[in-house]
Structure 1
Amino acid sequence: MDMRVPPKGQLSFACVSVRDETASIKTFRLRAGSGQVPVIPGQALVLKVPLSSGPVWRSFTVSGVRDGDLELTIKAQSEGGATRWLHDNFIAGCQVDARAPRGDFTLALRQQPELAFVSGGSGATPMMAMLRELAETEPQADVAWFHAARDPDEVLFAAELIELQRIMPRLTIAVTVSRTAPGWFGYRGRLNRRLMATAVPDFGRREVFCCGPQGFMQETQLIHAAEGGASSRFHTESFGGDTGPVATPVPASPVGVAGPSFQLKVNGRILAAAPDETLLQASLRQGVVIPCGCGEGRCGTCMVQLVSGDITASPNGGITQEEAESGYILACSSRATSDVEISMN
């Protein structure tokens, strides 16, 4: 297999413009060299970010589509990470490689008319993408949006939400901030059941789309369940965003390998992989870092090329059929059934 052949879904984008949303959040407008790229609101684009330590793949939700261009609204995180590099270096005229938009956190999951969008920080981006779609296709949609921000200056899309409320008469918006400022008259404090009951009294009866930090999403799901909400009507987006130069989120893996194991060769290094652990778990356990985002087969960040061997895979929307046919797999959701060699090149 020619290791120089990229996945068929790999694209090249040019940065058309950058605008400041808040002091720490920017929106990057990208234009594909191959023409308009299909995207479903709620999906994410996986960018190849050229850090000084080497390129890394990171997933960012598409916040909007403008005249065929894709917009990514990104908050700068840790120094040395992908988001910080984008904020400091990615300007109009720059080029970046990417994988085609992917993900199943979309309105296709919707089972009932009454919706609740719950977001924390930059988790507002997929909600805005879906809300813009509803404004165009279903302006009478019943949507309650609850957003949590650190302080008033970091509340995203405030002006546009006011405009959308004029188009969507059944759209309600509640915002809470952890740190208040003079002139703030919205909700205050971290998410809890009492606050949610005040902001969205019928929360348990609504179908929920939730995005934000992992702990925030877990708390929201507990509140929804406590209010009588069905788990089948609670959806989360967990692409993981930016974790610095090395992505670390990964499901728990065995401390050591007991019993039979297969040989796992990663970029020439020989490791061992137990049948019950993923290739990502086996690699990280033995000190070989494969960048990952969600750890659930959804974001495509941990995509590697299968050079040889057999695996079982359970991807969750993070890889396209064309990429799979080109010999690519997701390390976080693939397990060895024979000796295996993979490449991160």
Structure 2
Amino acid sequence: MNAHTSFPASEFVAAMRQRQWADSSPQAMVCRRVIDETHDVKTFVFSAASDRMFCFNAGQYVLLRLSIDGLNVTRAYSVSSPPTRPLDLHITVKRTPGGLVSNWLHDNLRSGDEIKIEGPLGSFKLDGAASEKPLFLAGGSGITPLMSMLRMLTDRASDLDLRLIYSVRSPRDIIYKSELNALAARFPNVEVTFLCSKGDSSWAEPSGRLNGPLLLRLVPDLANRTVYTCGPELYMKAIQASFDEVGIEPLAYYEESFGGYAGGAAPDEASAISSFVHFTKSGIEHCCAPGETLLDAARKCGVYVPTACQQGVCGTCRIAKLSGEVSMCDLGGLTSEDKSAGYVLACCSRAQGNVSIDL
């Protein structure tokens, strides 16, 4: 028998912890690879410049801190890789027409480039006490946090009875199609259904938009499922309407919403209201343009407000409202305690009359 040096388990654990990120402060990350997923979606693979492991819960997101044309910007992206592979981190980004960050990433970020990433953040994560029958419902690029969950479960060879229904516009918009098909073929407990709103003559799977009867047909045991769903705001509303339509409530329901219009009142509705924002600490009073958010107003006045998702989800732009009323579309960025304390989200709040902000 060859002699070997023993390494106590406690020392091994301590050594591994030293390699983990100790907090969520911005870390230098190096882009190692760029993967073309679809015609307008890319996955960016990062590893820590400091050779540390990234620890997170499947479903969480990170903040990318970038400098684009001299402007410091922050955007939130779900992690699409699983926590079972902690040496690298994947984000999957859809190019958005007119989108500052998504277009910059697609056109400029290359292997070897270094950026700052902060995280992990977010409460959308796979529950440790999850049902034995999870149902994943994804719309468009909302597949990304659910892909992290699915990859984690299959990495662990989980025997959970798992269903995924993935809604997209057309067959060419399916992200991770080959991998999803491979996972479904390899794991008999995993069932994947693609649902295209615009199928073509070669499309053999269901077509159309998800509704109550179709959801119940695809998942007859809907009432016994724990639902995890993510997608644009309109998709999320359609999911809620589908459950209402068939009069069924799942065992539990967890959602992450992003994309789409994040405002409270639409611009044409807001135009009839003459509104002013008073930034009390800065001593600035601003007359709001129709449909202008508090974040827009702050930027015009040179008042700094930290931002990330700009869609009412992450809560980074939380600010204290001292008086007045706003219309706000909060997609989970504020807790009930925040709302009781008078906080609002600058990115998706619009003044309704005179409003005072503690900035």
- Scaled by the length of structure 1, the TM-score of the pair is 0.73
Measured against aligned partners, the alpha-carbon deviations of 1:262-312 in whole angstroms (never above 9, x if no partner) come to 7534xx56248xxxxxxx96454677495453655x5254378x9xx9xxx
Larger radius of gyration between Structure 1 and Structure 2: 2
DSSP 3-state at the match of 2:194: strand
- Alignment match, 1:170: 189
- Alignment match, 1:14: 30
Preserved CA contact (<8 Å) 1:206 1:229: no
Measured against aligned partners, the alpha-carbon deviations of 1:132-171 in whole angstroms (never above 9, x if no partner) come to 1111335211111111111111112122122322443221
The Cα of 1:68 is off from its aligned counterpart by 0.9
- Alignment match, 1:41: 58
Distance in 1, matches of 2:70 and 2:251, equals 42
Alignment of 1:299 with 2:314, yes or no, is yes
Instruction: Name the Cα RMSD after superposition.
Output: 3.7
Match of 1:237 among 241, 245, 256: 256
Preserved CA contact (<8 Å) 1:103 1:317: no
- Alignment match, 1:24: 40
Preserved CA contact (<8 Å) 1:176 1:189: yes
- The sequence identity of aligned pairs, in percent, is 29
Alignment of 1:195-206 (within 5 A): 195-206=214-225
Alignment of 1:340 with 2:354, yes or no, is no
Preserved CA contact (<8 Å) 1:315 1:330: no
The Cα of 1:42 is off from its aligned counterpart by 0.4
- Alignment match, 1:103: 122
- Alignment match, 1:270: 284
Alignment of 1:141 with 2:160, yes or no, is yes
Distance in 2, matches of 1:22 and 1:237, equals 23
Q: Which has the higher contact order (CA 8 A, sep 6+)?
A: 1
* More divergent stretch after superposition (15-24 vs 195-204): 195-204
Measured against aligned partners, the alpha-carbon deviations of 1:165-195 in whole angstroms (never above 9, x if no partner) come to 2443221111111222342211111222232
* More divergent stretch after superposition (286-295 vs 129-138): 286-295
Measured against aligned partners, the alpha-carbon deviations of 1:223-266 in whole angstroms (never above 9, x if no partner) come to 123334437722111244xx7xxxx72445995679xx97534x
Alignment of 1:30-179 (within 5 A): 30-34=46-50, 35-52=52-69, 54-65=71-82, 66=85, 68-108=87-127, 111-137=130-156, 139-179=158-198
- Scaled by the length of structure 2, the TM-score of the pair is 0.71
DSSP 3-state at the match of 2:280: strand
- Alignment match, 2:353: none
CA 1:252–1:189: 2 relative to 1, 3 Å: same
Q: Give the count of matched residue pairs.
A: 300
Distance in 2, matches of 1:236 and 1:171, equals 20
Distance in 1, matches of 2:47 and 2:205, equals 37
CA 1:122–1:282: 2 relative to 1, 3 Å: closer
Preserved CA contact (<8 Å) 2:278 2:284: no
The Cα of 1:318 is off from its aligned counterpart by 8.5
- Alignment match, 1:214: 233
Distance in 1, matches of 2:182 and 2:115, equals 32
CA 1:23–1:332: 2 relative to 1, 3 Å: closer
CA 1:94–1:286: 2 relative to 1, 3 Å: closer
DSSP 3-state at the match of 1:106: coil
Amino acid at match of 1:33: A
Distance in 2, matches of 1:24 and 1:54, equals 24
Distance in 2, matches of 1:32 and 1:135, equals 25
What stretches of structure 2 of length at least 5 have no aligned partner? 1-22, 287-291, 323-329, 336-343, 350-355
CA 1:300–1:57: 2 relative to 1, 3 Å: farther
Amino acid at match of 1:205: N
Preserved CA contact (<8 Å) 1:176 1:187: yes
* More divergent stretch after superposition (284-293 vs 12-21): 284-293
Measured against aligned partners, the alpha-carbon deviations of 1:89-148 in whole angstroms (never above 9, x if no partner) come to 111111222221111111127542221111111111111100111113352111111111
